[in-house]
Amino acid sequence: MSFVSNSPLSGTANTGRLTALRMPATVALSFAIIAIILAWSLAPQFFTTYSPVVGVPADKFLGPSFSHWFGTDHLGRDLYARVVYGTASSVSSALVAVVIGVLFGGLIGLLAGFLGGWVDVVLARLVDVLLSIPKFLLAVIVVTAIGFETINAAIATGVSAVAFFARVTRSEVIKTRQATFVEASYLSGGSRWYILLRHVLPNASRSVLPLAVLQFGESILIIASLAFLGYGDPPPASDWGLLISIGKDYLKWPWLVYAPAFVTIVTVLSVNRISRWLRKTD
């Protein structure tokens, strides 16, 4: 709703641009957190000296301490190292999900909105079908069909987001197409593809970007939930959702759940904050 209420037409748009330059502290913090998360996923070896795979079996279930920030797990592996090394897979799988959702959803929405007619009707039914199945149920069914792995969980999550992005893109495209400047461009003889690339696509993508960022956070959670139900990579993978899922079997040692859960929550919170800020400033 706030997407509508914050549309550029509202009177607050101009002041919004000004505040954009002065980034709120929480947004800055969010960017800092995301920067750390990205660094973890790109170069985990700089952040920990422990191996995420090989542990010291005698050191199992140590509590958090200076030598093991998040404690150790049931095989004596450093949990902080497991979290850091699991970041790449957690982040990239969420990215895959977003890309699938945005690309396929965007394409469907673009075609439906721009071409209209029977194409629109057929695609609308397809989107309706995807929408009518509860998203998480859809993800579970898809991941079952293609196999229990993190990448497949990412694909399933992406598929479950296709309908949403298709709808958003379609309505954005229709809105832009009806805008006066596009009408004018038609009248002045611009080709369909030129108009699509020059006017429709940029406008649509501007509204889709914050939603894609939001979807990124959501995908992390859905993939974690799928991992929690057992639809993730086999060991010794250490995606955050898998870590929480493994940790729940050892609730006597609560840090095994709380540490990866904390990292997940903070990451998603940061992503959501950034998405909100993007929508406000756009």
- Please report, as residue ranges, which positions from 170 to 209 form the binding site for other proteins (by CB under 8 A): 170-172, 174, 207
Residue whose structure tokens are 């199992």: 60
Judged by CB under 8 A, which of 83, 111, 201, 214 binds other proteins? 214
x/- string (CB under 8 A) for other proteins, residues 84-113? ------------------------------
Query: Of the ranges 62-70, 73-81, 82-90, 182-190, which one interacts with other proteins (CB under 8 A)?
Result: 73-81
User: At a CB cut-off of 8 Å and minimum separation 6, what does 116 contact?
Assistant: none
Q: What does the block give as tokens for 28?
A: 């800055």
End-to-end Cα, the chain, rounded Å: 15
45 touching other proteins, by CB under 8 A: no
Does 8 participate in binding other proteins (rule CB under 8 A)?
no
Cα torsion at 194, 196, 202, 208 (round to 10°)? Answer: -170
Evaluate whether 81 touches 69 at the Cβ level (below 8 Å). no
Size of the site for other proteins (CB under 8 A): 77
22: alpha, beta or left? (left if phi > 0; alpha if psi -120 to 50): beta
Looking at residue 58, the DSSP 8-state letter turns out to be: G
Name the one range near other proteins by CB under 8 A: 39-47, 185-193, 194-202, 268-276.
268-276
For position 43 contacting other proteins by CB under 8 A, the verdict is no
Q: How many CB atoms lie within 10 A of CB 151?
A: 17
Number of H helices, E strands in the chain: 12, 0
Q: Which stretch, 38-46, 62-70, 168-176, 193-201, contacts other proteins (CB under 8 A)?
A: 168-176
250 binds other proteins (CB under 8 A): yes
As a whole number of angstroms, the distance between CA 152 and CA 66 comes to: 37
Closest distance to other proteins from the beta carbon of 126 (Å): 8
CA distance 153 to 147: 8
Q: What does the alpha-carbon distance between residue 66 and residue 132 come to, in Å, rounded to a whole number?
A: 50
- Comparing CB distances to other proteins, the nearer of 145 and 187 is 145
Of 274, 243, 249, which is closest to residue 77 (Cα–Cα)? Answer: 243
Which of 53, 62, 151, 179 touches other proteins (CB under 8 A)? 53
Please report whether residue 117 would count as binding other proteins according to CB under 8 A: no
Q: Does 272 engage in binding with other proteins (CB under 8 A)?
A: yes
Q: Measured from the CB atom, is 88 or 211 closer to other proteins?
A: 211
Q: How many CA atoms lie within 13 A of 57 on its CB side?
A: 0
Candidate ranges 14-22, 33-41, 72-80, 82-90; the one touching other proteins (CB under 8 A): 72-80
32 forms part of the interface with other proteins (CB under 8 A):
no
The reply to whether 132 sits near other proteins by the rule CB under 8 A is yes
Residue 148 interacting with other proteins (CB under 8 A): yes
The single residue among 72, 93, 176, 215 that binds other proteins, judged by CB under 8 A, is 215
Interface stretch with other proteins, choices 88-96, 99-107, 182-190, 253-261 (CB under 8 A): 253-261
